[in-house]
Chains A and B, each alone.
Chain A
Amino acid sequence: MKMKTFSKVLAVPLTMVLLTACGNGDNANGDSENVTLSLYLTLTEETAVNAVEEVIDEFEDEYPHISIDANFPADAYEDSIRVRMASNDLPDLFDTHGWAKNRYGDYVADLSDMEWVENFDESMEPLLKDEDGKVYAFPLNQANDGIMYNATMLEELGIDLPETVDEWIEAMETIRDETDNDVSPLWIPGNDPYAIGQILDQFSTPLLVTDEDNNYEEELLDGTFDWSNYTLLPETMMEIKEKDLMNVDALTASPSQRAQLMAQNLIGFTFADGAFGRDVYELNPDIQVGTMPMPAFYEGDEPSWIGGERHTMAASNNSENLEEAKLFIEFMARPDNARKVAEGTTLPAGINGVDADNYYAEYYEKWSHIDIQPYFDRVYLPGGMWDVYATTGSDLIAESITPEQVSEIMEAEYHRLRRENNEDDEEEAN
Chain B
Amino acid sequence: MSELINKQNSTMSKKRRKISKDESSLWWMYIPAFTAVSLFIIYPFLNGIQISFTDWDGFSQDSNWIGLDQYKRLFSDPLTWLVVRNTLLYGVGSTFLQLTIGLLYALLLNRSIKFKALTRTIIYLPVIISPLIMGYIWVFFFAYQGGALNDVIMWLGFDPVNALGNPSVNPWIIVLVNTYQFVGISMIIYLAGLQGISKDYYEAADIDGASAFQQFKKITLPLLMPSITINVVLNLIGGLKLFDVIVSLTGGGPGNASQSMSTFMYTLYFRREDAGYAATQGVLMTFMILAISLIALIYFKRKEVEA
**Chain A interface (Cβ < 8 Å from any Cβ of B):** 78-79, 82-83, 85-86, 88, 103, 190-193, 248-253, 257, 383-384, 386-388, 391-392, 394-398, 400-401, 413, 416-417, 419-421
Interchain nearest-CB distance for A182 vs B (Å)? 13
Say yes or no: A193 contacts B253, CB within 8 Å: yes
B273's partner among A257, A391, A417 (CB-CB below 8 A) is: A417
Report the bound CA distance from A387 to B144 in whole Å. 24
B255: which of A79, A248, A386, A391 is its contact (CB, 8 Å)?
A391
Taking the complex as formed, is B270 at the interface, i.e. its CB lies under 8 A from any CB of chain A?
yes
- Other than the given A252-B162, A391-B255, A420-B55, 15 more pairs (CB < 8 A) read A82-B58, A190-B253, A192-B251, A193-B253, A250-B165, A251-B164, A252-B164, A384-B272, A391-B253, A396-B255, A397-B254, A398-B165, A400-B167, A417-B272, A417-B273
Q: Among the interface residues B59, B61, B250, which one has the most CB atoms of the partner chain A within 10 A?
A: B59
CB distance from A194 to the nearest CB of B (A): 9
Instruction: Knowing A392-B255, A398-B254 are in contact, say whether A86-B59 is a contact too (CB < 8 A).
Output: yes
Q: How far is the CA of A347 from the CA of B274 in the complex (A)?
A: 33
The 6 A-B residue pairs with the shortest CB-CB distance, nearest first, are: A395-B255, A249-B144, A398-B254, A384-B273, A387-B271, A251-B165
Q: Is the CB of B57 within 8 A of A384?
A: yes
Knowing A249-B144, A253-B144, say if A387 contacts B267 (CB, 8 Å). Answer: yes
| Interface residue from A86, A252, A397 paired with B58 (Cβ < 8 Å) | A86
How far is it, in angstroms, between the C-alpha of A190 and the C-alpha of B60 when the chains are bound?
31
Check A400 against B272 for contact (C-beta < 8 Å).
Answer: no
The answer to whether B257 and A398 touch across the interface, beta carbons within 8 angstroms, is yes
A251 and B270 form a contact (CB under 8 A): no
8 A-B residue pairs with CB within 8 Å: A192-B251, A193-B253, A248-B160, A251-B254, A387-B271, A395-B255, A396-B255, A398-B255
> By the criterion CB–CB under 8 Å, are A394 and B57 in contact?
no
Residue of A nearest to B144 (CB): A249
User: How far, in whole Å, are A57 and B305 apart by their CA atoms in the complex?
Assistant: 70
- 8 Å CB interface, B256-293 against A: 256-257, 267, 270-274
Query: Smallest Cβ distance from A46 to chain B, in angstroms?
Result: 21
Q: How far is it, in angstroms, between the C-alpha of A249 and the C-alpha of B166 when the chains are bound? A: 10
Contact B165 A249 (CB under 8 A): yes
C-alpha gap A244/B57 in the complex (Å): 40
Alpha-carbon gap, A78 to B266, bound state (A): 13
Chain B 204-226 interface 0/1 with A at a Cβ cutoff of 8 Å (1 = within): 00000000000000000000000
Distance from B290 Cβ to chain A, minimum over Cβ atoms (Å): 27
B38 contacts chain A at the CB level, 8 A cutoff: no
Shortest distance from the beta carbon of B151 to any chain A beta carbon, whole Å:
14
A400, B254: Cβ atoms under 8 Å? yes
Contact (Cβ within 8 A) B270 A383: no
**Would you call A193 and B57 a contact (CB within 8 A)?**
no
Are B145 and A394 in contact (CB-based, < 8 A)?
A: no
CB distance from A389 to the nearest CB of B (A): 11
Within the assembled complex, what's the spacing in Å between the Cα atoms of A249 and B251? Answer: 15
Determine the chain B residues whose CB is within 8 A of the CB of A391 once the complex forms: 253, 255-256, 267
Instruction: Flag whether B143 is at the interface (Cβ < 8 A).
Output: yes
Q: Are B272 and A387 in contact (CB under 8 A)?
A: yes
CB distance from A186 to the nearest CB of B (A): 15
Best-buried of A83, A397, A401, A420 by chain B (most CB within 10 Å):
A420
Residues of B147-194 at the interface with A, using a CB-CB cut-off of 8 Å, are 160, 162, 164-167
* A88-B273 Cα distance, complex, nearest whole Å: 16
Given contacts A249-B145, A383-B273, contact A395 B59 (CB under 8 A): no
**Chain A hits for B253, CB < 8 A:** 190, 193, 251, 391, 394, 398
A92→B203 CA distance, assembly (Å)? 74
Structural contact, B271 and A386, CB atoms closer than 8 A: yes
CA distance A419 to B167 in the complex (A): 32
| A420 to B, closest residue via Cβ | B55
Contact indicator B255/A400 (Cβ below 8 Å): yes
CB distance from A404 to the nearest CB of B (A): 15
Q: Which residues of B contact A192 (CB under 8 A)?
A: 251
A78-B162 in contact (CB<8A): no
Q: Are B272 and A388 in contact (CB under 8 A)?
A: yes
Complex contacts, B144 vs chain A, CB 8 Å: 248-249, 252-253
Whether the pair A248, B162 counts as a contact (CB closer than 8 A) is: yes
Residue from B61, B143, B256, B267 in contact with A395 in the complex, judged by beta carbons closer than 8 Å: B256
- A261 to chain B: closest CB distance in Å? 8
Which residue from B55, B255, B271 sits with its C-beta under 8 Å from A394?
A: B255
Residues of chain A within 8 A (CB-CB) of B267 are 387, 391
- Please measure, in the bound complex, the distance between the C-alpha atom of A251 and the C-alpha atom of B257, giving whole angstroms: 12
Residue of chain A at shortest CB distance from B57: A420
Q: How far is the CA of A386 from the CA of B274 in the complex (A)?
A: 13
Report the bound CA distance from A341 to B254 in whole Å: 36
Residue of B nearest to A250 (CB): B165
Contact, CB under 8 Å: A79 / B254: no
Q: Are B59 and A420 in contact (CB under 8 A)?
A: no
B255 A78 Cβ-Cβ under 8 A: no
Q: Mark B93-118, 1 if CB is under 8 A from A, else 0.
A: 00000000000000000000000000
Closest A residue to B269 by CB, please name it: A82
**Which of B59, B255, B273 gathers most chain A CB within 10 Å?**
B255
Which of chain B's residues have a CB closer than 8 A to the CB of A396?
Answer: 255
Residues of A within 8 A of B255 (CB): 193, 391-392, 394-396, 398, 400-401
Check B270–A78 contact: CB distance below 8 A: yes
Closest to A395 in B: B255
| Most A C-beta atoms less than 10 A away, residue of B145, B164, B167 | B145
Say yes or no: A384-B254 contact (C-beta < 8 A), given A249-B145, A252-B144. no
Find the A residue at minimum CB distance from B273: A384
Q: Are A394 and B254 in contact (CB under 8 A)?
A: yes
| B256–A252 touching, CB < 8 Å | no
| A79 and B57 form a contact (CB under 8 A) | no
Instruction: Determine whether the beta carbon of A251 is less than 8 Å from that of B57.
Output: no
Set of chain B residues within 8 Å of A401, measured between Cβ atoms: 255
Q: Which residue of B lies closest to A251 (CB)?
A: B165
Asked if B273 and A193 sit within 8 Å, CB to CB, the answer is: no
